[in-house]
Amino acid sequence: MTPTKVWLSSPHMGGEELNYVHEAFDTNWVAPLGPNVDAFEKAIEKELGNEVCVAALSSGTAAIHLGLELLGVGPGDEVICQSFTFSASANPILYLGANPVFVDSEKDTWNMSPELLREAIEDRIKNHRKPKAIIAVHLYGMPYKIEEIRSIADAYEIPILEDSAEALGSSFRGISCGTFGDIGILSFNGNKIITTSGGGALVTKNKVLRDKAIFLATQARDEAPHYQHSHVGYNYRMSNVLAGIGRGQMNVLKERVSARRRNYDFYLNSLASLKDISFLPEPKDFFSNRWLSCILTTCYDMRETLRMALLDQNIESRPLWKPLHLQPVFKDSKHFMDGTSERLFEKGLCLPSGSNLSQEELDRVVETIKNVLS
């Protein structure tokens, strides 16, 4: 008999979401605007603090697209992007006709290397191609090196788009991720820390930029009694129905973060004694939501042996992100690498991390791994 499926990161409802969804139906607010959208944005603003304003959108990818456009990225421009991330971090660069320049990671957080970032910027300036923006990612919920990346960006006067798709609930020195960049983005995809099924948000301290994001996200309709358009717009605004799910999810965000961190602690305590496995600790002043609990093995073969053993027990796991500079779609893009992300990809595995995992399911994961390594 096939064991029950253990998912990598499944949605986890809190119970109040349906009340807000019913409210949307009862009041006929089912369009991409309405009370739930407004309230969801306010809830995110309150959670993040730091005097930010938020635009709720249809996806995190849409938020990156709009964010880059608001930062002035256009055809022929270059944008520096972390290579060790999901493709959605970089795809919007191509939407705008710009070109990605990929930068490798450092070992302390697995995020963008400040040293290689500086090298990339200086190389592109020397070639009269000063980058228009930097996309820095908080990978798996671990904050990137905030101070170092910001210092470099400021020195060369390049804005930062902070990809916090995986980092809602994470912080650096008590300040929420998503509020450090010139523009930040969040994702509420079905596998994220909280979900609206599909959805995202753009975060900024500049209300003018926030209002422009909403303008562009609603087909860039000018003020007029008829449909008048002076700019190219997009259909990127979040539905009031989905925002209702988000309102309910925001009520349990802290619980979800605590549950994911407990998962990580359980894996660490159960597996750290095994010589073939290592974990990524939090640097001082860093707080990760531990969106996904990840391990490093000794080599590619070991990673695959573990992955297939878990799969045989109907347990979903996944290799760490394949670096974007290795992806066929980006094969001609410039990149500045030292091999870090390639080694992480070869050796790393994401373990089941959902906030709704039972102790029995966690025990199954650990038992399977121990059976392989013993």
Residue 31: band (very low, low, confident or very high) from pLDDT cuts 50, 70, 90: confident
Average pLDDT of the residues in 290-302: 98
Are residue 210 and residue 179 in the same domain, yes or no?
Answer: yes
For residues 301 and 286, what is the distance between their CA atoms, to the nearest angstrom?
32
Are residue 329 and residue 228 in the same domain, yes or no?
Answer: no
Are residue 202 and residue 342 in the same domain, yes or no?
Answer: no
- Is a pLDDT exceeding 90 seen at residue 351? yes
More confident site: 96 or 31: 96
DSSP 230: S
Structural tokens at position 51? 């005097």
Average pLDDT of the residues in 129-154: 98
pLDDT for residue 217: 98
Place of tokens 């066929």: 328
Q: Is residue 11 part of a domain?
A: no
- Is a pLDDT exceeding 90 seen at residue 372? yes
Predicted confidence (pLDDT) per residue in 101-136, tens digit: 999 999 999 999 999 999 999 999 999 999 999 999
Q: Is residue 6 part of a domain?
A: no
pLDDT for residue 1: 81
Contact, 5 vs 366, CB < 8 A? Answer: no
Are residue 231 and residue 327 in the same domain, yes or no?
Answer: no
- Is a pLDDT exceeding 90 seen at residue 80? yes
Q: Among 198, 215, 250, where does a domain finish?
A: 250
Q: Which of 42, 46, 132, 192 is catalytic?
A: 192
Q: Among 225, 250, 275, where does a domain finish?
A: 250
Are residue 150 and residue 201 in the same domain, yes or no?
Answer: yes
Residue numbers of the domain that contains 281: 252-373
Cα–Cα nearest to 160, from 73, 47, 53: 73
Structural tokens at position 304? 């695959």
Are residue 30 and residue 139 in the same domain, yes or no?
Answer: yes
pLDDT for residue 2: 85
CATH number at 196 reads 3.40.640.10
Are residue 309 and residue 284 in the same domain, yes or no?
Answer: yes
For residues 54 and 113, what is the distance between their CA atoms, to the nearest angstrom?
28
- Is a pLDDT exceeding 90 seen at residue 294? yes
Burial of 119 from C-beta contacts in 10 A (0-12 / 13-18 / 19+): middle
Are residue 309 and residue 245 in the same domain, yes or no?
Answer: no
Are residue 185 and residue 261 in the same domain, yes or no?
Answer: no
Are residue 175 and residue 279 in the same domain, yes or no?
Answer: no
Cα–Cα nearest to 372, from 292, 289, 310: 310
Helix (H) or strand (E) holding 136: strand 133-137
Q: Is 145 a catalytic residue?
A: no
Predicted confidence (pLDDT) per residue in 245-284, tens digit: 999 999 999 999 999 999 999 999 999 999 999 999 999 9
For residues 212 and 229, what is the distance between their CA atoms, to the nearest angstrom?
14
Strands of the sheet containing 160-163, edge to edge, are 53-57, 200-204, 183-187, 160-163, 133-137, 78-82, 99-103, 334-336
pLDDT for residue 374: 82
Are residue 224 and residue 366 in the same domain, yes or no?
Answer: no
Query: What is 73-130 written as a DSSP string?
Result: --TT-EEEEESSS-GGGTHHHHHTT-EEEEE-B-TTTSSB-HHHHHHHHHHHHHTT--
Q: Among 214, 235, 250, where does a domain finish?
A: 250
Average pLDDT of the residues in 348-356: 98
Q: Is residue 208 part of a domain?
A: yes
Average pLDDT of the residues in 136-145: 98
Predicted confidence (pLDDT) per residue in 190-247, tens digit: 999 999 999 999 999 999 999 999 999 999 999 999 999 999 999 999 999 999 999 9
Are residue 138 and residue 270 in the same domain, yes or no?
Answer: no
For residues 211 and 199, what is the distance between their CA atoms, to the nearest angstrom?
18
